[in-house]
Amino acid sequence: MKPESIQHIAFIMDGNGRWATARGMDRSKGHRAGMEALERIVMACSERKLPYISFYAFSTENWKRPAREIRAIFLLMEYFFRRRMKDLASQNIRILISGDWSALPTRSREIAARCIRETAQCTGTTVNLCMNYGGQMEIRRACALWAARCQQSGEFSIPDESEMQELLYSGLPDVDLMIRTGGDHRVSNFLLYQMAYAELFFSDIAWPDFSPGDLDSILQQFENRDRRLGGLSLAAQSAAQ
Ligand code: IPE
Ligand code: IPE
Ligand code: MG
């Protein structure tokens, strides 16, 4: 089942730590279970032929966490790329990464770059993993890139929509549907520019427990949302004529 109007879904995969703590386990075990949920949801999105999916894996603010937890998160990412690279390619899934890679451990950067290369020709679902990503940083970076271009050409202008897409990390279409698990109702600096007209869904389910069935239920609810995008609903439009 796939609502035809969905191009881009963004997931804030939250609740890993609390999931583990509630079970008397170390937070890193929650991230491990979260990685398995990521694998399941990536495959489910591919089976449902959803075109673009972004996953918030590590934010520019997550550096505030203990070094041990940060190390565990990067090790799991490396493990995901290494273990899943072949499956992703055989499922025709293309991998992109958004964020400032330069601060990531060398091994994480190398394996992520390999995964991007090996899946570059895939034409099915595009999976955009956001690592050391922050929406404010992405917009500030875009401003700096544009300012440099204006300086070079000697002309000042405001970027149009397609120029702006080029200035952002991934150039993906705007987000139609944002799903945050873990019970909190905020966007935590995720895809701020791209979420201008996203439908927002907040689930109390912790990310490690989020299932393809939960995704289907949200997709069904999404279909009933009246996305006016600043215009009028069909009913109001025909009444006004
Ligand atoms: C989200 O889960 C994963 C990352 C931020 C990397 P959390 O680790 O934030 O889990 P909670 O919110 O503490 O439960
Ligand atoms: C958002 O979750 C970041 C990721 C899921 C990677 P956080 O747990 O970091 O967000 P806050 O601190 O609750 O806003
Ligand atoms: Mg959290």
Assign residue 43 the CATH number of its domain.
3.40.1180.10
Distance CA 10, CA 13 (A): 9
* Strands of the sheet with 126-133, listed across from one edge: 94-98, 126-133, 52-59, 8-12, 177-180, 199-202
| 26 in any annotated domain | yes
| 1 in any annotated domain | no
What pLDDT does residue 3 have? 65
Contact 178, 12 (CB under 8 A): yes
Full residue range of the structural domain in which residue 143 is found: 8-240
Ligand 2 in reach of 81 Cβ (< 6 A):
no
Instruction: For residue 34, give the ligand nearest its CA.
Output: 1
For the chain, how many structural domains are there in total? 1
33-74 per-position pLDDT tens digit: 999 999 999 999 999 999 999 999 999 999 999 999 999 999
Ligand 2 in reach of 47 Cβ (< 6 A):
no
> Which residues is 127 bridged to in the sheet?
53, 95
| 3 in any annotated domain | no
Q: The whole model's pTM is what?
A: 0.96
Centroid of ligand 1 to alpha carbon of 103 (angstroms): 20
Instruction: For residue 204, give the ligand nearest its CA.
Output: 1
Ligand 2 in reach of 56 Cβ (< 6 A):
yes
Pick from 27, 38, 59 the residue to mutate for probing ligand 2's pocket: most ligand atoms within 8 Å of its CB: 59
| 32 in any annotated domain | yes
- SS3 per residue for 38-87: HHHHHHHHHHCCCCEEEEEEEECCHHHCCHHHHHHHHHHHHHHHHHHHHH
| 199 in any annotated domain | yes
Q: Kindly tell me if the per-residue pLDDT of 2 is higher than 70.
A: no
What pLDDT does residue 240 have? 85
Q: Is 55 exposed, middle or buried (0-12, 13-18, 19+ CB in 10 A)?
A: buried
Ligand 1 in reach of 130 Cβ (< 6 A):
no
Centroid of ligand 2 to alpha carbon of 19 (angstroms): 14
Contact 118, 85 (CB under 8 A): yes
Q: Which residue has the tokens 């899943």?
A: 84
| Strand positions, DSSP E, 83-148 | 94-98, 126-133
> Which residues is 93 bridged to in the sheet?
none
Backbone angles phi, psi at 57, to 5 degrees: -105, -35
| 2 in any annotated domain | no
* pLDDT, the chain, mean: 96
| 54 in any annotated domain | yes
Ligand 1 in reach of 15 Cβ (< 6 A):
yes
Centroid of ligand 1 to alpha carbon of 163 (angstroms): 34
Residue from 52, 37, 45 nearest 1 by CA: 45
6-22 per-position pLDDT tens digit: 999 999 999 999 999 99
Q: Which residue has the tokens 């958004």?
A: 98
| 49 in any annotated domain | yes
Q: What end-to-end distance do the CA atoms of the chain give, in Å?
A: 34
Q: Kindly tell me if the per-residue pLDDT of 4 is higher than 80.
A: no
